[in-house]
Structure 1
Amino acid sequence: MPPKRKAITHEKGKGPVSGSSSRTRHVTEPPDDGGIPRFRTDEIEECYTKTWASKVCHKERHVAREDFSHHLLERVIQHCGWHKVADASHAAYPTLVREFFANFNPDIDVPESSHRYKTWVRCQWIHFSPTMIDKYYELTRTEVVPLPAPHELDLALVARFLYGRDDAWPLATPRFMHDQLTRELRVLHIFVSSNINPTRQRTRFTEHWAILLHHLARLRKIDLGAHIFEFVRELATAVDSQRTIHFSYLISGLCLAQGVSLFPTEEADPPAALLNARSVENSETKIAARRGWQSKRCTGHARR
């Protein structure tokens, strides 16, 4: 790993901060907080500055459902009742989201805690629980089917289902590959990796992810409120400082719905890329180009 370059600082108001001649970024001014307490303790403020302030906030993707009216993705949305999950058209406020994670209550799921299922955001305790997530997304827990463990499934059958061919197992690679999925499952994979089980690594995935995708494609409903709660709790309390922030729309919406104030100068992020037929077509083009490049590379190695 190359050594990190130190940024060259400038006095306030005197232009950009540059880490190299090839990349330029502008000074980020601290938000005008209007007197709203941002952090519960000095230690949390220090942690925010060192860890959370620079994290990228990924947003869920709004789905152009009319483009997928006869598609597996639409059947999954209908069966699971994920209409609001697919409609991520509300605003996301990155500073608010980062502060939510920095101030996250580590005892949020401890039964004897006085603030169980609550976390602190800008001078107030707000509710954050599987039930609150269900309420926000208008979800029900009827017909939920628990996700099976890897030892409870025949992974050969899972691979054949996801890849759509009999010779899929054993895998030719250490992990499942996105570009080997059937076309309908590739679209579902894009949606799941943005709105259900977010990840930056979408080209290859683990057995657990494959089981989740197989589960949903078979129209088996998961307890999404509990799933997202555990995802956010683990992300907020993890030691790994390299992880990206996810569920920016959901967290912003939950905070604002419970009366959390925005700063006078706080602005929403631009919307995430729309998941529609055109974006899927562009993805297919990139996959085809990658396969062509890999095929030529393998041919070149064989000739040598």
Structure 2
Amino acid sequence: MDDRDWLILQVLYREKNITKAAKELFISQPALTHRLQQMEKEFHVQIVNRGRRGVQFTPQGEYLVKCAEEMLLTLQKIKENVLNMDDQLTGTLRLGVSNFFTDYKLPGLLRLFKERFPDVEFKVTTGWSSDMAHLLYKHDVHIAFVKGDYNWQDQKELLFKETICIASAQPVDINNLPNIPRIDYHQDRFLKTSVDNWWAENYSQPPLVSIEVDKAETCKKMVVNGLGYAILPSMLLDDAAEIYRYTLKTKDQQPLTRSTWMFYHEDSLKINIVKAFIEFIQNLDLKDVH
């Protein structure tokens, strides 16, 4: 077994399909099947059962997949430690980034860091904040950028706060909001809970949701085209000067805000590129990054 074999097991377990796994691994299906047969021969067990609906892992195969995760993580740490012995800043920085931060801050951020440290590479995983926090917990990423106040017990930095706004192409009567068409999008659970609580405090009837989309950016475009109002983070509206916006406020008239955090493990600071990146973020005004 080499590191490529462990990766094959990991990808095949995720895809449950030899064709898809081979495509992701950039190898042919016969080559993947051959490697799988060699692994079964080496361990004297059947790793998968092949069927019309893909592959199913045997109990022995499930165990090997669990070992694959541990082996690949160990190998990654060995590589990082070897590179860390050199004074030159090099290696791969693994980041888990929330979708919103990816769209509005990450490209400019990585460009600035790359200009300063050209030998550093990036492996970026994007998704919901909760998933990114879980990746960090498992040490699958070095640093996680998340939205919302997660109960993270290790090191964290508050990057910025943004207000939550009602956004509309035309002026709206806030008191009549339940009767105005609303555009909703898939939100992280912290933002959804905050908005739902605010609504319950101010209205006795549910919102009139007329359109539901998957992304905040799509939602904004719907608002710009006058198809209804939406409740959006203020940063999303920075490039939409024509949009009317009304900041949501709590009962004591405090603006409703959402926090963006950088989470990391303290022991990751022993890795040169992680320490350099965190210090880079700490000394950077993210409001100026586009």
If the TM-score is normalised by the length of the shorter chain, which range does it land in?
A: under 0.3
Which is higher, the Rg of structure 1 or of structure 2?
Answer: 2
Pick 1 or 2: higher relative contact order, CA cutoff 8 A, min separation 6. 1
The alignment's TM-score, normalised by the length of structure 2, stands at: 0.28
